[in-house]
Amino acid sequence: MVGHMQKRLQNRIAESRWALTVCLIYAAGIMLLEGVIEKGLWLQTACLAISTLMMVELNNSNSLIRIYSRMVSCSFLLLNVMLPQQAESAEGAIVQLCIIGFYLSLFHAYQDKRAPGWVFYAFMSVSLASIVWVQMLYYVPLLWILLATNILAFSGRTFWASVLGLALPYWCLLAFHLLNGDLQPLADHFSKLAVFGPIARIDSLNGNECLAMAFVAVLSLTGIIHFVRNSYKDKIRTRMLYEMFITMVVVTMVFIVLQPQHSEKIMGILIVSAAPLTGHFLALTSTKVTNIAFIVILATTLIITAINIWVPLSTF
């Protein structure tokens, strides 16, 4: 247990009750530097604030970290403001908010095949995300599999609840377009599912995006390795939830490589899934090496944030 280990700088910060407050102040400052007032990024800022509160609830209600720590929400917040393109994307902010809503709802259904209500809300969140970014629907088959393998709540009732959750926002959208007498926008929306950009054209991204993505990927890999090596210390339920995060991280990273033109939305999903893994590593390790790693990670986050704000990097 970390509590019985030597308290290093890493642990003092990870267990501090002021950590999230400091991160909120820092994030507010970065958003100001990124032009929240000049560019009118009020929707994005509101979504980020609500998303951060929801990440706090996701951590608390599911005991993602077995000690008191705000590292999940702190990691989420710092990674979000690291890349200006991410902070400026309204669609990306909405997709990210919806995926957190998905996790919050679905985790309530753990081992409960008689929880169609929570499954309905979870998949309705996915559907709402798909209204602003229809490619979110690509995740649905995977989410059904995770509902069965990790949430252990797949049944006829929960399956049809998920279908209804996916359909409800589109029923409302269909009614809206019927009233306007024009169904073409809805047809155009779904037609985007058949449109694929060039495969693995990472060179279409600028250097700032690639730098941020590479850093999040390294953090994710570090968190995955740490969790796999130490998962026996967590409860079975926690292990199942983290395995779901790991699956989502891996699939999302593959998605980014295959279709990098959707990076603004995909990065939001990646950060939500990577934050618990990063927070778990930062809060539950206490060695000289991990203490140095903590300082390096923090410094690298600040440096990349500064580069992305003040040093535009050209496309490779």
Structure tokens given for 307: 């580069």
Angle at 71 between CA 305 and CA 231, to 5 degrees: 120
- The phi and psi torsions of 312 (rounded to 5 degrees) equal -65, 130
pTM of this structure: 0.93
Q: Which residues contact 86 (CB under 8 A, 6 or more apart)?
A: 80, 92, 212, 264, 267, 268, 271
Q: Note the residue count of the chain.
A: 316
| pLDDT in the model for residue 4 | 44
- The phi and psi torsions of 285 (rounded to 5 degrees) equal -125, 155
Q: What is the mean pLDDT of each run of 10 residues along the chain (316 residues)?
A: 61 92 94 87 93 96 92 95 83 95 96 91 97 96 97 94 96 90 88 83 79 93 94 93 97 91 90 96 92 95 92 65
